[in-house]
Amino acid sequence: MATAASAPANDAARLSSRDEFVAFRSAANDRWSRLWDAKSSVISVGVGSCSIAKGALQVLAECRRLGGDATVRQVACNGACFLEPWVEIKRPNEPPVIYSNIEPGEVQALLTGQLEDRAAGVRAADAHRGIPPLDSLPFFKHQQRIVLANTGIIDPDSIEDAVARGAYSAYFKVLFELTAEEAIAEVTAANLRGRGGAGFPAGIKWESGRKARATPKFVVCNSHEGEPNVYKDRRIHEGDPHRILEGILIACVVCGAERGYNYIGGEYPLAIARFRRAVADAERFGLIGKNILGSGKDVAFRVRTGGGAYICGEGSALMYSIMGVRGQPRTKPPRSVEEGIWKRPTVANNTETLANVPDVILNGGAWYASIGTPKSAGTKLMTVQGALKTMGLVEVPMGTTLGTLVNEIWGGMRDGHRFKGIQTGGVSAGPLTADHFDLPVDFDSLTDVGGMLGSGGFAVFDESVCAVDYARYLTAFNRYESCSKCVPCRLGNPALVEILDRIRFGRGTMDDLVLMERTSKHIIELSLCGLGQVAPAPLLGMMKMYADEFRSHVVDGVCPAGVCPIGGAEAVLAAGD
């Protein structure tokens, strides 16, 4: 049995010129071709933090034990959580077939061809042996994978796999073929907007950073995603860490930064481990350091991990944390491109934003701008939680409708569950209902009706969920994650939670509803940073969309869903008897 892994990288492997990189890339391409043209089978197992919880490591171990002369390799999860643990088998002279929901004890039967009924799809353009193409499945057919192009295909611990699939080719182009102005022009033409939620154009930010006069300069990748039901950045780190690193290095070269940072949430141990491995390999091969590939460009790199504070996803708080002090936001201006880390110009972008950069540089800004909508170009990674049939991470063109996401890509509601609403924007916006399914999902369309794209995190809830109780959960999250620096956020959010608890226990009044609206207005208008400025938004959205439920709690003393301590109608009638 053979295992596919990255070749040992040492000082002898260091690439010191552009010609040596071209030769290395050619060798990686040859190795990749030989892998798939081999006379023996290739077995790939999707291993990520999600599939590990379902036994993927045990499945991988069994494949290695029972695989015979097959090449057994670890890849990352492909986003289709409903298939996990999945195994892909490429038999000689056949396309790769993905088998779903494989238990460790079923590996022997799988390898001997006894589990063909578990074949979910074939990684080819046409059906094979009655197995449909993977891209024909509803979950995949609406997707356009740019950032996720290699996820589930390459070994994330192999720099050779990544280079064979195009990694560092855009970096090479920026080092030797484009000027900084030309590279920024492509990013600007792409209309690449920030994927962390704010939607600020990356090209404008890069141009401001390049023009800043103070030195040294820094580039920061914001990988601290701490919201419930948001896990897109984690999956990129686990599946294609070199893509993120390449985007950061390109930004460093273009903006004239001497050092790049990636700030990763400490809750993601596998993502951190795989990204650190990518950095170590890139350093050993000469892609980070002094005089990169003989270009005369110098870039140093550091990985920093957070302690789990959601507030450190805010730009200025993140930079304080990188410097080793308490992560709290500050007033602006000056903006970070003027004074960021150690009061030096700092360009900060979200993980997904930077992961798009290599394709923008390689294919051009006009190509990228042709995808999506005029104001929201490109694709967007979106995650979901809830009682859906085919949950997972998807990458779709901007402008895909909400109904397409819920009813087709994510398969609609599971049997026995009835759709009630979808919480948008993570914990930063209000819910939407089935009446909004025709809306395109982009930076602007959802905002007009009280929703928000944000970082692309959605939570679908059914009739068993109480709007008051859910509003309490979302408000409590923002309360706990507040840094407590400013008074409106520090005192206002606990006050909202206290009022919601009064209502949940049957002690609320109609005046409490008015009080929550007034308190929310003060928090939004007077808070220092983005957390406080959107913290009451989910509550206000729930109060607007499900006003009858709030009224039932206050006036009728009934929780229609029967979730709150006040009890449902049956409990109230029983108490009256």
Structure tokens at 153: 């295909």
In the structure, what pLDDT confidence band is assigned to residue 569 with cuts at 50, 70 and 90? Answer: low
Q: What residues pair up with 350 in beta bridges, in sequence order?
A: 222
Q: List b or e across 388-397, with b for residues whose CB sees 16 or more CB atoms inside 10 angstroms.
A: bebbbbbbbb
Q: Could you tell me where the DSSP H helices lie in 229-337?
A: 232-239, 241-255, 269-284, 315-322
> Exposure string (b/e) for 48-66, b if CB count within 10 Å is 16 or more?
bbbbbebbbbebbebbbeb
pLDDT digits (tens, 9 = 90+) for 217-242: 999 999 998 888 889 999 999 999 99
Q: How many CB atoms lie within 10 A of CB 325?
A: 9
User: How many Cβ atoms sit within 10 Å of the Cβ of residue 418?
Assistant: 9
Dihedral of alpha carbons 76, 50, 390, 148, sign: negative
CB 140 within 8 A of CB 149: no
pLDDT value at 34 more than 60: yes
pLDDT band at 577 (very low <50, low <70, confident <90, very high): very low
304-341 confidence digits (pLDDT tens): 999 888 999 889 999 999 999 999 999 888 999 999 99
Report the share of the chain in percent with pLDDT over 90.
88
- Average pLDDT across the chain, whole number: 93
By three-state DSSP, how is residue 558 classified?
A: coil
The answer on pLDDT for 574 being more than 70 is no
Domains and CATH numbers, the chain: 2-136 (3.40.30.10), 167-369 (3.40.50.11540), 379-462 (3.10.20.600), 467-576 (1.20.1440.230)
Helix 510-526 and helix 487-504, axial crossing angle in degrees, nearest 10: 160
- Residue 88, pLDDT > 60, answer yes
Evaluate if residue 492 carries a pLDDT over 50: yes
Q: What are phi and psi of 278, to 5 degrees?
A: -60, -45
Distances (CA, A) of 44 to 89, 90, 297, 428, 486: 6, 8, 38, 38, 50
d(CA 395, CA 239): 14
Q: Beta partners for 209? A: none
Residue 3: pLDDT band (50, 70, 90) is very low
Tokens of 2: 């053979």
Q: What is the 3-state secondary structure (H, E, C) of 94-144?
A: CCCEEECCCCHHHHHHHHCCCCHHHEEEECCCCCECCECEHHHCHHHHCCC
Phi-psi sector, 309: left (phi>0), alpha (psi -120 to 50), beta:
beta
Q: Which whole-number Å values give the CA distances from 134 to 32, 60, 128, 138, 199, in the listed order?
A: 21, 22, 11, 9, 32
Range with the lowest mean pLDDT among 263-267, 274-278, 281-285? 263-267
- Return the pLDDT at 217: 96
Residue 5: per-residue pLDDT:
45
Q: Is the pLDDT of residue 10 over 70?
A: no
User: Residue 447 carries which DSSP code?
Assistant: G
Q: Residue 377 pairs with which residues in a beta bridge?
A: 372
What are the pLDDT digits (tens) for 400-425?
Answer: 999 999 999 999 999 999 999 999 98
Measured over the CA atoms of residue 385, residue 389, residue 392 and residue 395, the dihedral's sign is negative
> Three-state SS across 507-552?
CCCHHHHHHHHHHHHHHHHHCCCHHHHHCCHHHHHHHHHCHHHHHH
pLDDT, position 463? 95
Q: Which value, in Å, is the radius of gyration of the alpha carbons in the chain?
A: 25
Q: Are 64 and 1 in contact (CB under 8 A)?
A: yes
Residue type, 58: Q
pLDDT for res 362:
97
End-to-end CA distance of the chain: 72
Quote the CA–CA distance of 441 and 100 in Å, as a whole number: 30
pLDDT category, 261, cuts 50, 70, 90? very high
* pLDDT at 4 > cutoff 70: no
Measured distance CA(147)–CA(285) in Å, rounded: 23
Q: Which residue has the tokens 């792409």?
A: 190
Omega of the bond prior to 85 within 30 degrees of 0, cis? yes
pLDDT of residue 140: 97
Alpha-carbon dihedral 332, 522, 198, 270, rounded to 10 degrees: 100
Answer yes or no: is pLDDT of 390 > 90. Answer: yes
Condensed to tens digits (0 to 9), the pLDDT of residues 454-471 reads 889 999 999 999 999 999
Tell me, what DSSP letter sits at residue 462? E
In whole angstroms, what is the distance from residue 177 CA to residue 229 CA? 41
**366 to 172, 181, 191, 251, 359: CA distances (angstroms):** 20, 16, 9, 19, 11
In whole angstroms, how far apart are CA 518 and each of 127, 496, 522?
59, 10, 7
Confidence grade of residue 7 (pLDDT, cut at 50, 70, 90): very low
